[in-house]
Structure formats: C-alpha cells, structure tokens
Amino acid sequence: MKRHSLRSHRWETKGFVSILLVLLLASLPLSAFDGFTDIFGPADEVAATGVSPQTPFAPSFGINGTVGFSIEGMRALDDSREIETAVGGGLEIDLSWRGSIVDAQAKLALQPTIDTPLQWVDIFKGLSVTSYFEGGRIEAGLLKKEWGSGDAVHVVDVLNAPDYRNGIVDDALAMKVAEPMVLTTATWKDAALEVVYKPMLVPMLTAEDPEHRWSMLTDAQAELFSVATVNQVTAAELSRFTNGQYGARLVGTFGPADLGLIYYNGFYTQPAYDLRAYYTSGGAIDIGFTRAQLFATEATVVTGAFTFMFEGGFWLSEDASASETETYNSKWVYLGAVGMLIPGTGAYASVTYHGQYILGFDETNPIDVDTIQANQSSDGKAYMNTLTAAVDIPLAREKVTVRLAGTYQIETKGYALLPSVSWSISDDLVLKVAGRLFGAVGDAPDSLFKTWAANDSLAVGIAYLF
C-alpha cells in the first residue's frame, strides 16, 4: 500500500513534467547532429544531385527519445501463486544543443519503475556541457562514461556507480548512476588521453529495505540490520573535498589493436560494514567506503571475424596490508572476451570470462568486509569467476531481434538469464517481450542470484521512438 501511495505522489510530479516536455518537444525543430551539413546542406533539404551550396555552421537543437509503457509480472514474495505487477516504461528524452564550440545535453527520464522515493538519479540520466578546443574537449556535468574494452561487461569501468535497485537488467547503461564529473579529452590522430575529476563519492545504489525483493542482503544480514543501529554515511560526508576522485585513461590504435592504460584514484562503490562495535559491545554498525587506486590495461584485437577483448588491473586498497576488517582489501581483476558474427545469420555472439582475486583474504574472520562480501557472492572464496554470454539474432530483415543473454557465477553456481524478443511494428514503434530468470544450479551455496530466485519475471512493453 505504501508503495502505491508513493507512486501516486510521484506521478503527479511526473505528469506535470511530462506535459512540459511534450509541449517542448512539439515546439522545437529536430536533430542536433544532422549529417554532413557542411557538404550536403541541411538534411531535410534535398538538393539536386551534385549541386548544393556549402552551408555555414548553424547552431541547432535536437530531441530524441522514447515514450512507452510496459508491465512486468512476477511472483509475489509471500505467496508464489499470486502475481505482482510493476508498471514501467514512461518517457525518456534526450535534449541536445549544438553550438560552434559548445554542446549541451540533457537526458531525462520519467519512469515509474523504481519504487523507492524519487531521487535525482531517476530523472537526470545525464546533464552536461561540452566545450571544444583545438585538439580536445572538456565535459562537465552529470555523465555516464564507459571505460574498458569488453562487450557491456567490464572490470575496469570505474567512473559510474552501479544501480542494482531493480536487480539486473539487460542494459548496461541503465544500470549506471550518472555522476558529477569533469572530463578533459586531448586527442591526437589515433590516440586520446582522458583526465577525469569527480568531486564527490556516489555509492552503489541498492534496495534499502532489507525485505525488498531486490535487496542484496543475505537472510542473516537482513536479520542483523533489522535489529542493529546502522550509522549511514550522510550526503554531506559523501560530498567532502577529501572524497574527490580522479583518474586518467590513455587509449590508442596500433595496427589491428586498440590499447589502453588506466589509472584511477577513487573508491570501491560498495559499502563496507564496520561490525566491530556491534559484536564487542552491542554498538552501532558504521558504514564506510574504502579508497583504492586502480592500475589497469585494456585491449581490443581484431583477427578475421573475431574480436578479442581483454581487461586487467590491480586495485591497491588503502588497506594495502589487509589488516583492517572494515575496509576492503586489494585485488586483481581480469576479463577476457571474444565476439563474432555467426556466418550466414547476421547474428552476433560474445562470450566473456571475468573475475577477481582478493589479496590477504581471511576466510576465518566473519566480520571482515571481504569475507562478508565473499559469502554473498563467491561461496566464501577469495576468488570469483563469472561466465557471461549473449547472442543477438536479427530476423525478418531486422524487424525482429531475438536476444539471449545469460551469466553464470562459477563458485556459487548462480545464474541469471535475460531473454528478449523485440518486434519493430514500424521503424518507430517497437513491441518487446523480455524475461528475467534467476537462480542457482543444484544444491548451491548462498549467492545474489539465489537470493533473487523468487524474482523471475516476464515483461511486455511497447515503445515509440522519436
């Protein structure tokens, strides 16, 4: 009931903003980047073959987006015979303005899918200004950026905190939180250097209610949190100057390979629980975050029909000696992937193997944050390895796309399967049916996927693209 009232209140606000956006949409010319207008002229003015005037640059405004509706059904947590439904879809809109040396972009969303109190991250998926200069550009605002070479799965993609409030969805960008940052990119012919500064710490987002169906807490943790006093980190603390983060990424092309080097000085985005006071004197549980530096490399190598992708790095924790229970340890991370077009089908398939190895892991200490996390995600082991595969199959001249994606966590035998079928009724109207299946194979230990086993769902939606 509480959930419904929250939604109702939010819809009043969203309805108002939606009307404003639709009015704005109707009153503006379309398309910021509109092709090679300096060569062909405006794209909506088709000139005679071979004859068109050279067109000077003119600022332009663009709107793209989707408006849609979806309904997702899943079993009720308290009674598996009942079906709960969640309404999704809504309005997503990309506004862009293109000037001679400045671009501005706003990615806004009005979606009823997140059933926690409405936060700015749910509306602003991006809000940035980019200024161009000779040999580079500088971007500032709320941004989503992707570092790494992998196919949607990464181990060195550190600039945005993940968002697990709606579990796992088959859209890597949707699972990122747009973060405030300033990013400068200097480019040469086949190389680019990015330097980034993030003024505040944005933690990973999870369902806060331990009873929530997408809670990432194990039953034991949920029970503990329901009785203990938990000292959360406040927004003011997260915004402290000392929580600033920075990094750099150098990428370049060398023959058939794209190579990159990464340095990042930031935080592990998952919270670390300090349980010492609770277990020694019944005191409060403090939540903190661990600062760490990432030294990493990435590569994409193309050979024939195959694309090989690699990422590898070392996270050097502030607790380099692995002596503190309330901070995460240093660790190695690695990823290898291969993608290819399947001959004669037009289908693209990729397989990714990725994992981590925690240094100084102490499995005998139950209040060490590394042990707690390992119990949740890798059967209490220092190492965690996961296999992810996906295949996209276009059918009926790309009117229909079948996508099968799945991930298997080797230590816990946990899996997530995300099949979907999209049908383009017309070029701008798409019907989509998607499923989410979670669970674990056989007599498996606790894991996130096992925790979410009751969250299997089927969603049907329709979206209009503009």
Partner 1 sequence: MKKTSHALGITLILILLLPWLLAAEETGNSIMQKVMDTQAATSSAMDIRLTLIDSNGEARERRIQTLSITENGLTNTITVFLSPASVKNTRFLTRERSDGNDDQWIYLPALGRVKRIAASEGNGSFMGSDFTYADMASTTYDTQEADHTLSGDAVLLDRQAYIVQSVPRIVSPYVKTITWVDKESFLPLRVEFYDKDTADPSKVLTTEEVALVDGRWLTRSITMRTLANNHSTRIEILQAKYDIPMNSGYFTTTFLETGRTQ
The residue ranges that bind partner 1 (CB under 8 A) are 31, 33-36, 39-40, 43, 46-52, 64, 101, 130, 132-134, 137, 144-146, 172-173, 187, 189-190, 192, 253, 255-256, 258, 300, 302-307, 339-341, 343-344, 346, 394, 397-399, 424, 426-428, 430, 465-466
* Closest approach of partner 1 to the CB of residue 133, in Å: 8
> Which tokens in the block code for residue 14?
């969203």
Residue 137 or residue 212: which is nearer to partner 1 going by CB?
137
> Which tokens in the block code for residue 5?
């009232």
User: Residue with structure tokens 């040999």?
Assistant: 135
* Amino acid at the residue 164: Y
CA pseudo-torsion sign 8, 12, 15, 21: negative
- Rounded to a whole number of angstroms, the distance between the first and last alpha carbons of the chain is 35
* Closest approach of partner 1 to the CB of residue 354, in Å: 17
- Cβ(276)–Cβ(367) below 8 Å: yes
Residue 121 or residue 374: which is nearer to partner 1 going by CB?
121
* Closest approach of partner 1 to the CB of residue 235, in Å: 27
Residue 46 or residue 76: which is nearer to partner 1 going by CB?
46
Picking from 327, 257, 245, 337, the residue whose alpha carbon sits closest to that of residue 294 is: 245
Residue 16 or residue 33: which is nearer to partner 1 going by CB?
33
* Closest approach of partner 1 to the CB of residue 360, in Å: 35
Beta bridge partners of 342: 347
* Closest approach of partner 1 to the CB of residue 132, in Å: 5
Residue 6 or residue 257: which is nearer to partner 1 going by CB?
257
* Closest approach of partner 1 to the CB of residue 340, in Å: 7
Distance in angstroms (rounded) separating the CA atoms of residues 344 and 319: 52
Residue 134 or residue 443: which is nearer to partner 1 going by CB?
134
CA pseudo-torsion sign 233, 236, 238, 240: negative
Strands (E), 45-175: 60-75, 83-98, 102-110, 124-133, 136-143
Q: How many residues does the chain have?
A: 466
Residue 64 or residue 385: which is nearer to partner 1 going by CB?
64
* Closest approach of partner 1 to the CB of residue 52, in Å: 6
Picking from 367, 368, 336, 376, the residue whose alpha carbon sits closest to that of residue 352 is: 336
Distance in angstroms (rounded) separating the CA atoms of residues 310 and 338: 9
Distance in angstroms (rounded) separating the CA atoms of residues 76 and 3: 14
Residue 159 or residue 292: which is nearer to partner 1 going by CB?
159
* Closest approach of partner 1 to the CB of residue 255, in Å: 8
Beta bridge partners of 124: 108
